[in-house]
Structure formats: structure tokens, C-alpha cells
A and B are shown apart, each in its own frame.
Chain A
Amino acid sequence: MQLAFAVLGGLVLLFIVAPLAGLFFFGGEPANVVAAAGNAELRDSIWLTLWTSMLATALLALAAVPFAYLLARKDFWGKRLVMGLVDLPTVIPHSAAGIAVLTVIARSSPLGQAAAGIGLDFVGHPAGIMVAMSFVSIPFLINAARDGFAAVPERLEKAALTLGASPLRVFLTIAVPLAWRAILSGFVLMWARGMSEFGAVVIVAYHPMTTPVLIWEWFGAYGLSYARPAAALFVLVCLVLFILLRLLARERDDA
């Protein structure tokens, strides 16, 4: 049985790896990728994608991590409903998510008008991109952090309280450090999910172009062979960043 399962597992792995391998095999000749990297439009889009997704994750984390802690520690009326709501963005089509987000932040909406009041226009602005990215990716951070907090023995927090620490101090010095790995993993997932988001972003902000939108545009305008090196480069950048982050997390763990 083990052998059969291993074969099945191998097939699944192949299913994941093959298209990526193909991407590099057909479009990833170093010359092509270097040429793509020389393209200012692509470089700008990659930079835009990286910082918007990173900033969106960091900003949302400020609220999402405490919220996840609450979900892990407290039982309250309607908690299941709240947890269902948190998961909602993962189950609706992302184009629909984009429409939903746009409805709320469009110039005609109250929020859009309020933002316009301080000179901010979400639509076609990095802020809009960040909202769209966050909407579809926030469940990953909340769920990962919640599981991480749930795995921290409550006894340790109680012990800290009996030592005179305030709940905030307990959260910062006991819960967060002990759930750190899960939170970081959620952070990386949210960031990655935001970075790779196409559907919601393209509806909220076609311009400025994030890399997924740019790849789509190039594919539509110039075809597969033109879009492929750009896709390969973007995947490469993502991979390098994630591997670096994982290594960083491990080092911190061993320290």
C-alpha cells in the first residue's frame, strides 16, 4: 500500500512541478529572462507587486493577529459565524471579490467619497491594489495565526498572569513569541496570495499594473512566447523571497 500511495503522491507532485518546470524550460532560457529583467515596465510592476502586497500584509497584520488571538482564546456568541465570514473570501470567485471591493471603494461610494476628501482615489491607485489583495488573502493570515495561538498552552499565559503580567504583556511576551512560527507562516501565505492575486486586482486597479496583470496583458497583446519569460522571472523572484523568509524563520527558531 505504501508503494501505491507513494506513486500517487509522485503523480500529484509531478502535476504541480511539471507546468513550472515547463515555464522555465520553454521560456526560462537565461537570455530571455535577463532580457525580460531589462524591461523597465516589468521591473516596475514587480516592484509594485512586492511592496503593495508586503505593505498590505503588514498593515492588516496589526489588526488580524490580535483578532486571531481573540478567535483562538475566547468563546463568544456567533463565533462560528465570524469564522465562516473570515473564510468567505477564499470561496468566492476572485473577479466577484474584485467587484465587491470596487463597489465599496469606488468614487461613488461613501468610503470612496470620504477617501476623495483627503485626496485619495483607491481606483487605479496602489491603495486600491492593496485593498483588493488584502481582501482575498487575509483569511490565510488569520487562520494560520489562530491555529498558532490555539497551540500555545493557555496554562503558560495563566502562569504569566499569576506572575503579575498584564494581558497585553502576556500577549506580546508569551503568546506571540510562542505562536511566532505559525504567524510568520500565515504572513508569508498572505503575502504570497496577495502578490499572486489577479482577478480582484485587475478589476479594482488595472493601472498601475501589478505583475500578474502585466503578464495577462502581454499574453493578450503579444502572445505566449512574449509573456512567458516575464512569468518565469516573476515566479523566480517569488521563490527566492519565500525561501529566504523560511530560512530567516528557521534561524530565529534555532537561536
Chain B
Amino acid sequence: MLEVRNLSARWDGFAIDDISFSVAAGDYFVLLGPSGGGKTLVLEILAGLHPATGGTVLLDGREITGSRIQDRDLALVYQDRALFPHLTVHKNIAYGLAAQGVTRSKRLDRAAELAGQVGVAELLHRRPGTLSGGEAQRVALARALAREPKLLLLDEPLSALDIRAREKLRALLRQLHRAGNTIIHVTHDFEEAVSLASHVAIMAEGRIIQMGTRDEVFVEPRSRFVARFTGVDNFIEGEVTEAHDSSATFVADKATFQLAGAGFVGRGYLLFRRRDLEVHRQAPSPSPANLFTGRVVDLAPTRSGLEVRLDAQGLTLVAHVPRRQVAALELELGMEVYAVLREGAGRVVKA
């Protein structure tokens, strides 16, 4: 349905470079990445608010790269909603229909129907200034849907909401997706992507780093950045030098890891969570398979204990010390310690 090829642009300090992706009808496509990565710029270029310096955008086979905003047949919901403050909720929702030449009574009927669908039927006569964040977002969604656009573009639709409102809106977005709407959703929130996306593109510094179905991206992250997003704290680049049925050797810099298996030989990434790395003051005996020495370079308290960052044999490793052990270990910055990767932990993905 939507085909973006080699899109480049620069605007107001943001830049995107060589962005290509496609969205099929019925997809829920999440563009995930940190703030300042150019995600919103991509949306705004799709909507026609900014010009692209290179590349093409095709919607249902028709090139719209240079089309006028009002001719694009896709609807953008702004992060701050951009509801028209001088119009009632009812007229806000009906606004796009007026532009299509729908008669007044028909468009007001249709707006009321949409308001019911998004759960703001009782707010029709209110002004936007009197709405809560969640209500305003629902109105903005209804307003965007009124024209039945081919594609719905959402810019951080949940970011300004409290947790309860956010959960309810997620449910609404899922419902809109199930109803057949094709959606592109920009966010920096990993949870949001996991709970909504059918497809994900990870974007940082103006480029797409990884893209695929939700499971492809989150189960097999291919960069430290994506791994961190998915909650994997240790993402180590290296090589599988040996792989057997139930054992494998992974070498990264000066460190060697003995693993339960890899399934391939060659360049790859080793992934494990910080909970899978134990910290000891003395070398445990008998000596476990994956024992490393390292220096404590950072200590950060967490809800359940202490996050310890180690400089270990050329690698930066992140470990977790449970609360009950924190006092006994008496860790300090600069201290030399031992780190052990739990048996069976760690998995490798092919580079």
C-alpha cells in the first residue's frame, strides 16, 4: 500500500537519510527509536508537511512525493492533537468531511457516529480546551478517521497521557487496527511497540537500523541499540568459532564464552540479560565455565538491587546484584571483581 524508497530530508536540525520501507494494507507499522532520530520527520514528509530532498513515496502505486498536503489521502494525528480550539468536538470531528463537500447534516451524523466509536459521544458539544489528554486524543483520532483515509499516521499518540489513559487508548488503537485501518505509529516507547505493532522499524540518527515483523525484530535484535530497547543489557559482537550439538564457543576480543549451542559458525552477537551475570568478590570454586575478571566502572541502584557495570577483558558487561546481596558484597567503584555468566544463559544471533 505505502512504498517509501530512499527517502532523504533535512529539517530544523533533524535529518533522515536513505529511508526505505513498505507498509501493506492492514499492517500496524511502528517506527521505534529515540527522540531526535528523525521519526516524526518521516511522518511529516509522508503527510506532505515537509519536502523530501530525495527519494519517492508511493501510496497505492500513485506517487505522492510532491503532492499537496490536502491531496494525499492520509491523515496525521499530531502528538499534541492540534484540535481546533474554536470549534466544538462535534465540528472538529466533522471538519474533514466539510472539505469533501459532505452536507452539513450528513457530516454531523457521521461525526456523532465516529465519536461513539472512539468513546467520546458524550463530549460532542465541548470545546477542546476542556478535554483531558485522553479525550483529546480520541477526538483527534475520530477527526482523522472521518475522511476514511487510506493510511493513519500517529505521532507519539500515547506519550502525553497518564498510565490509565494510555492503556485504554492502546485498546482503542488495537480495535481500530482490527477494524481494518492501516496505521503507521511513531514512538520512542518499546512497550508501546511490543503491544501494538505487527511490523517494526527501528530508527536512530536518521536511519532505519532494523526492520521486520515484531517478532523478527524483538527476538533477533541486530544491534546494541535494538537489543537495549528489547531489554537485553549485554550485547556483544564477536564470532562463533566452534558449534556442536550441545556446545559452542564464542570469542569476543580477549574473552571466550562457552555456550550451550549456537547453530552456526561465524560472526554473530551474544545476548544476555544483566540478571544472568553474577558478581563475586572472590573467585568461586570449583571454577565455573564462564568466569571473567573485571573492574567496577559504574554502580546504579535499581528497584530490585544494584546494576553493576564492569570493564572486563576488553568488554563492557552489565550485571545485576539482588538486593539481599548488595550489603554483603560492599562494591565500590574501581574494585576488581569476578563475574560469572550463569550456566545455560546467553544466546547468539547471526550477524
**Which chain A residues have a beta carbon within 8 Å of chain B's beta carbons?**
153, 155-156, 158-167, 169, 173-174, 177-178
Rounded to whole angstroms, the CA-CA distance of A161 and B70 in the bound complex is 5
What are some 25 contacts across the A-B interface (CB < 8 A)? A155-B78, A155-B82, A156-B84, A158-B49, A158-B82, A159-B82, A160-B84, A161-B68, A162-B47, A162-B49, A162-B72, A162-B74, A162-B76, A163-B75, A163-B95, A163-B99, A163-B146, A163-B147, A164-B73, A165-B96, A165-B98, A166-B99, A169-B98, A174-B84, A178-B84
With CB as the reference atom, state the residue of chain B lying closest to A165.
B99
B144 and A163 within 8 A (CB): yes
* Shortest distance between the CB of B195 and any CB in chain A (Å): 26
A163 and B85 within 8 A (CB): no
| Residue numbers in A under 8 Å from B72 (CB-CB) | 162
| Residue numbers in A under 8 Å from B84 (CB-CB) | 156, 159-160, 174, 178
Rounded to whole angstroms, the CA-CA distance of A163 and B140 in the bound complex is 11
Q: Mark B143-183, 1 if CB is under 8 A from A, else 0.
A: 11011000000000000000000000000000000000000
Rounded to whole angstroms, the CA-CA distance of A220 and B75 in the bound complex is 68
| Residue numbers in A under 8 Å from B144 (CB-CB) | 162-163
With A155-B78, A155-B80, A166-B70 as known contacts, state yes or no: A160 contacts B95, CB within 8 Å: yes
Rounded to whole angstroms, the CA-CA distance of A170 and B95 in the bound complex is 10
B285 on the A face (CB < 8 A): no
| Residue numbers in B under 8 Å from A165 (CB-CB) | 70, 95-96, 98-99
B100 on the A face (CB < 8 A): yes
| Residue numbers in B under 8 Å from A166 (CB-CB) | 70, 99
With CB as the reference atom, state the residue of chain A lying closest to B86.
A177
With A153-B82, A174-B84 as known contacts, state yes or no: A164 contacts B100, CB within 8 Å: yes
Number of interface residues of B (CB under 8 A): 26
Rounded to whole angstroms, the CA-CA distance of A229 and B127 in the bound complex is 49
A-B CB contacts (within 8 Å), total count: 62
With CB as the reference atom, state the residue of chain B lying closest to A253.
B86
B147 and A164 within 8 A (CB): yes
* Shortest distance between the CB of B112 and any CB in chain A (Å): 17
**Which chain B residues have a beta carbon within 8 Å of chain A's beta carbons?**
47-49, 68-70, 72-76, 78, 80, 82, 84-86, 95-96, 98-100, 143-144, 146-147
B69 and A162 within 8 A (CB): yes
Contact for A169 among B47, B69, B99, B143, CB less than 8 A = B99
| Residue numbers in B under 8 Å from A160 (CB-CB) | 84, 95
Contact for B78 among A159, A164, A169, CB less than 8 A = A159
With CB as the reference atom, state the residue of chain B lying closest to A162.
B76
B70 and A178 within 8 A (CB): no
With A155-B78, A169-B99 as known contacts, state yes or no: A164 contacts B86, CB within 8 Å: no
With A155-B80, A156-B82, A156-B84 as known contacts, state yes or no: A163 contacts B49, CB within 8 Å: no
* Shortest distance between the CB of A169 and any CB in chain B (Å): 6
With CB as the reference atom, state the residue of chain A lying closest to B73.
A164
Rounded to whole angstroms, the CA-CA distance of A158 and B72 in the bound complex is 13
Q: Which 3 residue pairs spanning A and B have beta carbons closest together?
A: A163-B96, A159-B82, A161-B69
Given contacts A161-B48, A164-B99, 11 further A-B contacts (CB under 8 A): A155-B78, A155-B80, A155-B82, A156-B85, A159-B84, A161-B70, A163-B75, A163-B144, A164-B73, A166-B70, A166-B99
Rounded to whole angstroms, the CA-CA distance of A158 and B78 in the bound complex is 10
* Shortest distance between the CB of A149 and any CB in chain B (Å): 14
With CB as the reference atom, state the residue of chain A lying closest to B47.
A162
Rounded to whole angstroms, the CA-CA distance of A174 and B80 in the bound complex is 17
Rounded to whole angstroms, the CA-CA distance of A164 and B94 in the bound complex is 12
Central interface residue in A158, A159, A174, by most chain B CB within 10 Å: A159
* Shortest distance between the CB of B89 and any CB in chain A (Å): 15
Rounded to whole angstroms, the CA-CA distance of A169 and B99 in the bound complex is 8
* Shortest distance between the CB of B73 and any CB in chain A (Å): 8
